[in-house]
Structure 1
Amino acid sequence: MRAMKKGLMTLVGVALVGSQLVACTNTSTKTPANTAASTAETKTATTPSPVAAKPVEITWWNFPNFQPLDGEVGKYEKQIIAAFNKKHPEIKVNLEMITFEGGPQKLNVAIASNSAPDVIYDAPGRIIDWGKKKLLAPLNDIVTDEVKKDITPALWKQSMVGDQIYMYPINTAPFMMAVNKTVFEKIGALDLLPLSRPDRTWTMAEYEKALQAVKDKAPEIIPTGFFAKSTAGDQGTRAYIANLGVSRFLSEDNSKVAINTDNAAKALDWVAKATKDKLSVAGAASLAAADVNDLFLQGKLAFTLNYSAVLKAQNVPNKKVQFEDILLPFPTLDGSKPKLEPYLGGMAVFNNGNPDKIAAAKKLVDFIANDPEYAKKNLIQTGGLSARTSITGLYSDPEYKYAETARQFITDAPTIADGYADIRTFWFPELQRVLTGGATGKEALDSFAAKANEAIAKAKKDQAASK
């Protein structure tokens, strides 16, 4: 991938200067009427005409971050653009909706061919990688001190490279599990879920008991899910293993892998055994995150691993049967507080070498994040919580209130690590080896650690060489 060209353009302000008309008179005295007419004439001639804002055209690529209106993907985004144009009629915004399946590759091709969009709403996994490659325009100039103080360091870490802000954080929610509460009500086992606890924390032993109850009393339902086909949704599997094994995925400074502990290895071995025991979905090595969530939405799966308040809202029209989905933190081996990675959505501006387009794109970002009327509407339409700690109580749904509570468990996400784009590609092949009997949990995690640590070291070396 090659860096996009950078250029400087100078904006030239145009001043319209009118010449004052001076009336030539004789020595006779002017009448009051003549004086008034002369004054009005002078005022008209010396007042500059307002300079029209320079027309600019930008392109916005957007994943389906906002819930569709009337079942139409992109309809809400068009409303945003219409409202934006009332304040900035000089900026034409071309919207292109992309999917989570094909969008990442389309972005890679666009960047490689110097045809990236001007602005995008995405997540740190891709945005920070682009920022490290100098593909983005810093947003420091549109982030106020008030906003800086109102967003936690954990979220800022996912939005910055060094002291440069490359993503404007907008919506967030902790990634968690979800459970089909209706299934447990039907089998009379609701007491096996930790719903009576304010923080809903629970142990691996309690989780296993709940899975066994589903297997015994609702054999038509798959107790829980797992997936290892691709990098999509990797936060679900790594948080699942890390919490079951009371471990971290990476070290606190993100300098090396920390998931290859004995407890995490046992947790991964447990996943393989649970599959054989029919407590976990069969064929997980060939299932993607979307496949597992689809089973959940069909009512065929009691627990799913890759969920959040955002996904809960987005999945409402996708349910094939009606049931109540409830958010739960990942269980831990000893019942200790879980470590939840945050979902974070925000906007980034590509540095396409045109200062006018960059400035216009920043205005769109600022409008979506901070407009007095639309900022709150936009948050609710994403189904997420605000990235700003002062903005709460957007929803009356008790699951959203719990999601606010669960923010206490948020930890740093590994997406900010050097070499993360490569790190994640090594994860699923190792999971597949365990699921297919080709390696033990410890062998797989040690192999992953060796490859990932090498990628981290290489990325650090490359960054040092580019400075």
Structure 2
Amino acid sequence: MTAASIALIGTQLAACGSDQTKQNESASPNQSSSKPVEITWWNFPNFQPLDGEVGKYEKQIIAAFNKKYPDIKVNLEMITYEGGPQKLNVAIASNTAPDVIYDAPGRIIDWGKKNLLAPLNDMVSEEVKKDISPALWKQSMVGDQIYMYPVNTAPFMMAVNKSVFDKIGAADLLPLDRPDRTWTVAEYEKALQAVKEKAPEIIPSGFYAKSTAGDQGTRAYIANMGVSRFLSEDNSKAAINTDNAAQALDWIVKGSKDKLVVPGAVSLAAADVNDLFLQGKLAFTINYSAVLKAQNEPNKKVKFDDVLLPFPTLDGSKPKLEPYLGGMAIFNNGDKAKIEAGKKLIDFIANDPETAKKNLIQTGGLSARTSVTGLYDNSEYKYAELARKFITDPPTIADGYAEIRTFWFPELQKALSGQATAKEALDTFASKANEAITKAKSQSKAK
């Protein structure tokens, strides 16, 4: 993203530093004889690379941090989305976990439930707490303990290669003339048919079922098309095995035969489908966000206009979008000095008046704080801000979710390969998910 495409709000973030920041600045190691401390920060590529170099921006953060905290040495280690999760598992098992991690709720909250993290309650002021929506706090807490400090967010949704529709003269089939861009499954199917007929070299839509990666895209796609939920509102049981959701999955299975959906979805992962999109070979992709839009820009193989869209619903009702949420956590490695140093690093990244807004923009995301808007002079980001009204509680906060998600793709594979009907597959998933929820709750009560 070029600097020219960004309009910064000069005062909003400058005024939103937390009480922790003010306390930290008043007790800056520049003005004290605090004992030096060394911490390790592991980071997925949450920030866009500078000059094509992964980790270069993070090093700039650390350099700026050390101007205020010269007695805190931060060792950075960049990890990938492919191998990072396993590397973290090994580190945790061998008691060599990093001190600080920038990740997402799916893993962080699971660690919190296992008592592996240090609570962050003392670094969250009332001002910050009120300025972040309950839906995001639910993803950041276990009980009344805050284990993840929310930083950047964006609703997960679809994206369309608008350039394809411009080329075939069918842009009017997209709901872009509606402020909220909501649309029906019937309207969506009509758009897919236009691609099939007028641009046969382009695959109309994507789907995948190879692995758990990107599961939020498939579950939200089916749930919205079927006007259903993945789990019940209180996350006590599966809710995706409705007749409408089964019809949505049946539609996907049939669509793969009718050349409306990418063939071979059983053997495709989320990254494979997004790669087809970035190559300009796919009209619609189902796992996107403002964050991914920014991260994907340098990876496009051809130039095209990627536009954000909500998932279509059966009756045109408001969609339910899960939020992407990025935030930071601290592993409790038994060293209070390291924990406090980690809190200072987190607070600096999220709230420093001079660098916080720059950090947010480098993630390509929106602020987790509702009062901070207008960071980008870009129509798609403005739409992403509007689409926050469609955000719903994600199932990732459910008891046993780490196990629940492992049952999802095998059942999708059965439906796609004809080994089970859509309803049978969803019923089987629901049964296994309910068992996992019951088991997790029992284990939690036993602690």
TM-score by length of 2: 0.93
| 1:139-171 CA distance string (max 9 Å, x none) | 001111100000010000000000000000010
1:306 alignment partner in structure 2 = 287
2:337 alignment partner in structure 1 = 356
**Residue 272 of structure 2, aligned match among 280, 291, 295:** 291
- Aligned pairs for 1:428-439 (under 5 A) are 428-439=409-420
Distance 1:309 1:441 in 2: 31
| 1:313-371 CA distance string (max 9 Å, x none) | 00110000000000000000000000000000000000001111111111100100110
1:339 alignment partner in structure 2 = 320
Distance 1:242 1:101 in 2: 27
Q: Which amino acid aligns with 2:181?
A: R
Distance 1:142 1:371 in 2: 14
Asked if residue 211 in structure 1 is aligned to residue 192 in structure 2, the reply is: yes
**Residue 414 of structure 1, aligned match among 387, 395, 407:** 395
**Residue 68 of structure 1, aligned match among 49, 55, 73:** 49
1:197 alignment partner in structure 2 = 178
| 1:185-234 CA distance string (max 9 Å, x none) | 00000000000000000000000000000000000000000000111000
Distance 1:54 1:255 in 2: 48
Distance 1:126 1:83 in 2: 28
Q: Which amino acid aligns with 2:414?
A: R
1:224 alignment partner in structure 2 = 205
Distance 2:343 2:269 in 1: 35
1:118 alignment partner in structure 2 = 99
The unaligned stretches of length 5 or more in structure 1 are 1-49
Distance 1:457 1:59 in 2: 37
Asked if residue 146 in structure 1 is aligned to residue 127 in structure 2, the reply is: yes
Tell me, what secondary structure is at the counterpart of 2:211?
coil
Identity value in percent: 84
**Residue 107 of structure 1, aligned match among 84, 88, 95:** 88
| 1:122-153 CA distance string (max 9 Å, x none) | 00000000000000000001111100000010
2:436 alignment partner in structure 1 = 455
Distance 2:148 2:192 in 1: 40
Question: Which protein, 1 or 2, shows the higher relative CO under an 8 Å CA cutoff with sep ≥ 6?
Answer: 2
Distance 2:276 2:354 in 1: 38
1:58 alignment partner in structure 2 = 39
2:346 alignment partner in structure 1 = 365
Shift of 1:109: 0.7
Asked if residue 263 in structure 1 is aligned to residue 244 in structure 2, the reply is: yes
Tell me, what secondary structure is at the counterpart of 1:178?
strand
**Residue 241 of structure 1, aligned match among 214, 222, 243:** 222
Asked if residue 94 in structure 1 is aligned to residue 75 in structure 2, the reply is: yes
Between Structure 1 and Structure 2, whose CA radius of gyration is higher? 1
2:408 alignment partner in structure 1 = 427
Asked if residue 324 in structure 1 is aligned to residue 298 in structure 2, the reply is: no
Distance 2:264 2:81 in 1: 23
Q: Which amino acid aligns with 1:141?
A: D
1:444 alignment partner in structure 2 = 425
Tell me how large the CA RMSD over aligned residues is: 0.6
**Residue 155 of structure 2, aligned match among 166, 174, 194:** 174
Shift of 1:51: 5.4
Distance 1:437 1:103 in 2: 34
Distance 2:119 2:171 in 1: 49
Shift of 1:300: 0.1
Shift of 1:72: 0.5
| 1:71-95 CA distance string (max 9 Å, x none) | 0000000000000000000011000
Distance 2:198 2:83 in 1: 40
Tell me, what secondary structure is at the counterpart of 2:70?
coil
1:315 alignment partner in structure 2 = 296
Q: Which runs of 4+ in 1 moved over 4 A?
A: none
1:375 alignment partner in structure 2 = 356
1:24 alignment partner in structure 2 = none
Distance 1:116 1:215 in 2: 50
Q: 1:102 to 1:111 in 2, by over 3 A?
A: same
Q: Which amino acid aligns with 1:103?
A: G
Distance 1:429 1:134 in 2: 30
Query: Aligned residue pairs: how many?
Result: 417
Distance 2:196 2:48 in 1: 34
Q: Which amino acid aligns with 2:367?
A: S
1:403 alignment partner in structure 2 = 384
Q: Which amino acid aligns with 1:76?
A: Y
Shift of 1:428: 0.3
Shift of 1:52: 1.7
Distance 1:317 1:347 in 2: 25
| 1:421-447 CA distance string (max 9 Å, x none) | 000000000000011111111000000
